[in-house]
Structure 1
Amino acid sequence: MGYIEELRELVGTRPLILTGVTALVIDQHRRFLMVQSGKIWKIPGGFIELGETAEDACRREIFEETGINIGNLQLIGVFSGRDFFTKLPNGDEYYPITLAYVTEDIRSGDIKADEVEIQKAQFFKWSAFPKELTPRDRQIFQSFVENLILERRRG
């Protein structure tokens, strides 16, 4: 049993604050890695376990969900607040604090969904991107694009 499951045994479905990680993984063709969970396409990621660094959790989650090993990560931003409140079908509630990263450092692995949490894993060109994004993912992509624009203006 993991940390979150142990907490749930103590507090039931009441809201928790949970720290998660996600990464925009960009391949050599400038495509973005997305995963499908249920009917929704999203940026891969998950929650940090006890004693784990955010970066190690991000690498672990990407590998578990997609089979891809990533290396260096650059922080995009931290996303939290009322807008990201989540109520799961089983009644569990939480407010996530999500550390979002970007990487082009794909080290190894063949893309393959875990088929437990994730049904599909796929790289998408910007022009063929899934239209339905969660508010969190929409905000992460927006911050990523804004950061790119700022970098280009500086450079």
Structure 2
Amino acid sequence: MGYIEELRKMVGTRPVILVGVGVAVIDDGGRILLQKRRDGRWGIPGGLLELGESTEEAGRREVLEETGLEIGELELIDVFSGKKYFVQLPNGDQYYPVTVVYRTRDIRGGELKEDGEESLEVKFFPLHALPNELSPLFQDLIEHYFVR
């Protein structure tokens, strides 16, 4: 049982603050790797930290688990938090994420493939041809970082 499951046993579905990470993986052609999640929205790979894990370790782990790619060096982009990102899961669990977002061009290996659980599809997109259904975090990332 992981940290979040143990925490939920104590607090139930009440709102909590959880730290997460997202990684904008950019290929040699300047395209960004997106994953389509179960809610039908596209966003960057990422997830929540486990106890004792750094944000960099979590970012690398999540990218590998969700996309099959091994990545190396990470560059901090920004931290996203606040009411706008509030999440209520279908099971009633509620949380406010604090998401640390990195960028990398350092793809070291692996084979691009969705995991079938969190990622229904993974694909590199040119920034001028992104899918329509984007997660709120990714929409903000595009506006605040890639548009500049």
TM-score (norm 2): 0.95
Question: Deviation of residue 143 (structure 1)?
Answer: 2.2
CA distance in 1, matches of 2:41, 2:85: 16
Alignment check: 8 A CA contact 1:66 1:113 kept: yes
1:143: which partner in 2? 144
Larger radius of gyration: 1
The AA in structure 1 aligned to 2:82 is G
Alignment check: 8 A CA contact 1:67 1:113 kept: yes
Question: Deviation of residue 133 (structure 1)?
Answer: 1.4
CA distance in 1, matches of 2:134, 2:43: 7
1:5: which partner in 2? 5
1:17: which partner in 2? 17
Q: Which runs of 5+ in 2 are unaligned?
A: none
Question: Deviation of residue 42 (structure 1)?
Answer: 1.2
Q: Moved runs in structure 1, 4+ residues, more than 6 A?
A: none
CA distance in 2, matches of 1:52, 1:112: 24
CA distance in 2, matches of 1:82, 1:70: 31
Q: Which runs of 5+ in 1 are unaligned?
A: 150-155
Q: Which structure shows the bigger proportion of residues in helix conformation?
A: 1
Identical pairs, percent:
51
1:33: which partner in 2? 33
CA distance in 2, matches of 1:20, 1:95: 10
Count of residues in correspondence between the two structures: 147
Question: Deviation of residue 93 (structure 1)?
Answer: 0.2
Question: Deviation of residue 139 (structure 1)?
Answer: 1.0
The aligned runs of 1:98-117 (5 Å cut-off) are: 98-117=99-118
**How much is the aligned-residue C-alpha RMSD, in angstroms?**
1.0
